[in-house]
Amino acid sequence: MTALVQGTRAGVTATPARRRRSADWRKRAEITLLSGPAILIFVAFVIFPVLMAAYYGFFSWKGYGAPTDFVGFKNYLTILRDPTFHDALQHNGFIVIASLVLQGPAAVLLALLLNQRMRGRSLVRVLIFVPYVVSEVIVGTGWSLMLQTNGAVNDLLTKIGLESWTTDWLSDPSIAIWSLMLIISWKYIGFAVILFLAGMQSIPEELSEAASIDGASYWQTQRRITLPLLGPTLRIWAFLSIIGSLQLFDLVYIIWGQYVAATAGTSTMATYMVTNGRNSGNFGYGNAVAVVLFLISLVIALTYQRYVLRRDTAGALTEGKK
Amino acid sequence: MAAITAAGRLPRTRTRGPVSRVNPMVYVVAWLFVGLCIAPVVYIILGGFRTNSEITSDPSGLPSTWKLTNFAEVLSSSGFWQQVGNSTVAGLGTTAGVVVLGLMVSFVLARYRFAGRGAMYALFAAGLMFPMTVAITPLYILIKDLGLMNSLAGIILPQIAFALPQAVIILVPFLAAIPKELEEAAAIDGASRLGFFVRMVLPLSVPGVVTVGILAFVASWNSYMLPLFILNDSSSFTLPLGVQAFASEYSVDTARVLAFTSLSMIPALIFFSLFERRIVGGLTGAVKG
C-alpha cells in the first residue's frame, strides 16, 4: 500500500514493478539518511552511557585504562549498607513528597486565580516564570547569600519585628531541608502554574457557563468541572515533579557543596553519587550508584505510568503505531 | 463570554466589561505572588549596585547611591567575556544540532510509514524520562576517551543527544499536521519527498523549530552538571561554572559576585521574555504529548 503510494511519486516513464522497487530503495535511503545522524548521536551519548554504567558498576575501578578488577555485586552491597546513602535516599523521598504537597495545591489555586480576566495577566505570566528560566547556579548563589546567618532574610525578619524567627537557614540540619524545599518551590512553582493555566484554558468555557446557569457556585464549578478536566495536566506535572525530585543535584551541590550536604541533611542520591564516585576517584562505585538511581527512577516511572498515566498517554505513546 | 468572579457572585446576564468585575483581592494576591517570584532576582540585581560595606551593614536594604563600578569591573574582565563566548558557542552549537537533527528524524517519524517506526518513536520518548544525572559518570568517561575533555564539543554533543527526545516530541505532531494534500500537490508538481521537505516542510515548521531552538539554547545556557564534569580548565568555563568560580574566588566581595551573577542571567531572560508564548506553548504541548 505504501509502496503503491510511493510508486506514484517516482518517475512516470518507468514500468510499475521497477518503479516500485526503485521507490522502495529510495524511501529506505531517505529514512536512513534523515534519521541516521539523530539515532547515532542519541544512542552514542544517551543509551550507550547508561548501558556502560551497568557494566562499570561491577568493577572496582579508578577510571584509568580498562576496568579489570571485577567485584560482582560488592559495590551494590556497599551502597545498600551505607547509612550515608540511606540518608540521601530519605532526603530524596522527602523532597518528592514535599514538592507534590507544597507546590501542587498552591499552584492549582494560583492558576485558578490567574485564569480570570484580569488586567496585566500576560505580564504576570511572564514574571512568575522568571525563577524557572534563571539558572540553578544563579538561584543557588543568590539564595545562599540571602539565607546566610547575616544575610538579607534574617535582616528582613529582624526589621519587621520577627527577630525570633531568624535562624541558621543553611547549616542547621533540622532547618536546611526546609530551606531547600523553599528554594525548590520558589524555582519550580511558576512552571506548575503556567502548565495548569494552559490546561485550564483548554477547557471549553461553555461548561462553566452551563454550570453557573444551573446555579453552581464558583467553587462548586471549579471542584466539579475544572479540577476533573485538569486531571491529565495534574498527573503529568506530578510525574515530572517526581522524576525531577529523584534526580535533584544542581541546587544542592551549588548551595551546600559536596561535604556540607550530608551534614546539613540535604544530600541526595545524585550528590552522593558525585561525591563518592568521581570526586573520590571510585568510578566503578559511582556507576553502581547511577544504576541504583536509574533503577529507582525507572521503577517509579513505570509504576506511575502503569497505574496513573495510562489513560492520558494511551494516545501519545501508541500514536507511532497508528 | 461570561466571566466567573472569584467571589462567586456571578451575574446571570452576559457581562460586557469582564475585567472590571474581577475581585480586587485577585489583583492583590496575584501581584503578591509575582513579588515573591521576582524578589530574589531583584535582590541579586540591586546588590550589584551596592558596596560591600552597605551589604554587610544592611543586607536587605536598597542601594544608597547606585554604583556602576561593580558592573564596570566585571564587564572589563577578560574572564567574563571568555565565558560569555564559551556559553554562546555551546548554546548555538547545541541549538543548531538539535534543530537540524531533530527536524530530520521528526520528518521521518511524521511522514514515512515503515516497520520499526513505532520502536523508533518509543526510543526517543523513553529518553525523555532519563535526565543526564543517570548517565553522567559513564558520559564523562566516554568524553575523556574521545579526547574531548575541556572542549566545548564535549558538552555540545551530549547536550544535543539529551535534547533530541524533547525536540522529537514537539516536532512530530507539528510535522504530522501538515496536510497530506500539500505533499500530494508537491508530488504532482514533480517534487520528490526530500524536495517537499526542503521547500515546504522547512518553512512551515518555523514556529515549532523556534520553540525547540529556544528551549535547547536556554537549557544549554543554564546547564551545570555536564560542564562541571567535562570542563575543568578555567579557559573553557561556561557562565554557570564561571559564576560559581567567581563566587568562591571573590567570596568576600559580595557586591561584585552579585553584579557578575546579574550580568550572566541577562541573555536567558531576554530570550525568554521575547519568546515567552512560544516557550510556554512548546512546554505545555510537549507535556501533553
User: Which amino acid is located at A198 in the chain?
Assistant: A
Please report the pLDDT score of residue A320 as a whole number: 37
B50 or B94: which carries more pLDDT confidence? B94
pTM: predicted TM-score of the whole model, two decimal places: 0.81
Q: Using CB atoms, which residue from A133, A150, A315 is nearest to B289?
A: A315
A228 CB-side CA count, 13 A? 7
- pLDDT interval class at B214 (50, 70, 90): confident
Please report the pLDDT score of residue B282 as a whole number: 62
Does the beta-carbon distance from A126 to B131 stay under 8 Å?
no
Among residues B81, A293, B43, B22, which one has the least CA distance to residue A301? A293
The ipTM, to two decimals, is: 0.81
Q: Using CB atoms, which residue from A28, A45, A114 is nearest to B30?
A: A114
Among residues B174, B288, B122, B117, which one has the least CA distance to residue A309? B288
Q: Mutating which of B21, B23, B37 best tests the A interface, going by the most A Cβ atoms within 10 A?
A: B37
Q: What is the mean pLDDT of residues A252-266?
A: 79
What's the rounded Cα separation, in Å, for the pair B121 and B77? 47
Chain B residues 139-158 with a CB less than 8 Å from chain A: 139-142, 144, 157-158
Q: Using CB atoms, which residue from B22, B60, B162 is nearest to A116?
A: B22
Share of chain A above pLDDT 70, in %: 88
**B108 CB near a chain A CB, below 8 Å?**
yes
B1 or A180: which carries more pLDDT confidence? A180
Highest mean pLDDT among A12-21, B136-145, B188-197 belongs to B136-145
> Above 90 in pLDDT, residue A215?
no
Please report the pLDDT score of residue B245 as a whole number: 87
Please report the pLDDT score of residue B197 as a whole number: 78
What's the rounded Cα separation, in Å, for the pair B86 and B155? 11
**To the nearest whole angstrom, how far is the Cα of A190 from the nearest Cα of chain B?**
8
A-chain residues near B41 (CB < 8 A): 130-131, 134, 142
User: Tell me: the pLDDT tens digits for A84-101?
Assistant: 899 899 999 999 999 999
Please report the pLDDT score of residue B1 as a whole number: 31
Q: For chain A, how far is it from start to end, CA to CA, in angstroms? A: 15
Highest mean pLDDT among A216-220, B141-145, B175-179 belongs to B141-145
B4 or A73: which carries more pLDDT confidence? A73
The overall average pLDDT reported for chain A is 81
> Above 80 in pLDDT, residue A15?
no
Q: What is the mean pLDDT of residues B212-216?
A: 85
What's the rounded Cα separation, in Å, for the pair A194 and B282? 12
Q: What is the mean pLDDT of residues A144-157?
A: 82
User: Tell me: the pLDDT tens digits for A165-204?
Assistant: 777 788 778 888 899 999 999 999 988 888 888 888 778 8
A-chain residues near B36 (CB < 8 A): 186
Chain B residues 163-222 with a CB less than 8 Å from chain A: 164-165, 187, 192-194, 197, 218, 221-222
> Above 50 in pLDDT, residue A70?
yes
CA closest to B121 among chain A residues: A320
What's the rounded Cα separation, in Å, for the pair A193 and A185? 11
Q: Mutating which of A116, A136, A296 best tests the B interface, going by the most B Cβ atoms within 10 A?
A: A116
> Above 50 in pLDDT, residue A72?
yes
B-chain residues near A135 (CB < 8 A): 221-222, 224, 239-240, 264-265, 268
Highest mean pLDDT among A274-288, B53-67, B191-205 belongs to A274-288
Q: Mutating which of B99, B120, B133, B170 best tests the A interface, going by the most A Cβ atoms within 10 A?
A: B133
A273 or A13: which carries more pLDDT confidence? A273
User: Which amino acid is located at B135 in the chain?
Assistant: A
Chain B residues 16-75 with a CB less than 8 Å from chain A: 18-19, 22, 26-27, 29-31, 33-34, 36-38, 40-41, 43-44, 47, 56, 58-60
Among residues A40, A149, A230, A61, which one has the least CA distance to residue B104? A40
User: Tell me: the pLDDT tens digits for B77-108?
Assistant: 888 888 889 999 999 999 999 999 999 898 88
Q: Using CB atoms, which residue from A49, A130, A250 is nearest to B38?
A: A130
Please report the pLDDT score of residue B49 as a whole number: 85
Q: What is the mean pLDDT of residues B180-199?
A: 80
Does the beta-carbon distance from B134 to A53 stay under 8 Å?
yes
Q: What is the mean pLDDT of residues B63-87?
A: 84
> Above 90 in pLDDT, residue A257?
no
3-state secondary structure labels for all residues of chain A: CHHHHHHHHCCCCCCHHHHHHHHHHHHHHHHHHHHHHHHHHHHHHHHHHHHHHHHHCCECCCCCCCCCCECCCHHHHHHHHCHHHHHHHHHHHHHHHHHHHHHHHHHHHHHHHHCCCCCCHHHHHHHHCHHHHCCHHHHHHHHHHHHCCCCHHHHHHHHCCCHHHCCCCCCCHHHHHHHHHHHHHHHHHHHHHHHHHHHHHCCCHHHHHHHHHCCCCHHHHHHHHHHHHHHHHHHHHHHHHHHHHHCCCHHHHHHHHHHHHHHHCCCCHHHHHHHHCHHHCCHHHHHHHHHHHHHHHHHHHHHHHHHHHHHHHHHHHHHHHC
User: Tell me: the pLDDT tens digits for A118-136?
Assistant: 788 778 888 888 888 888 8
Highest mean pLDDT among A27-36, A57-66, A246-255 belongs to A246-255
What are the φ and ψ backbone dihedral angles of A59, each rounded to 5 degrees?
-120, 155
Q: Mutating which of A141, A184, A248, A271 best tests the B interface, going by the most B Cβ atoms within 10 A?
A: A141
B-chain residues near A124 (CB < 8 A): 30-31, 34
What are the φ and ψ backbone dihedral angles of A172, each rounded to 5 degrees?
-70, 115
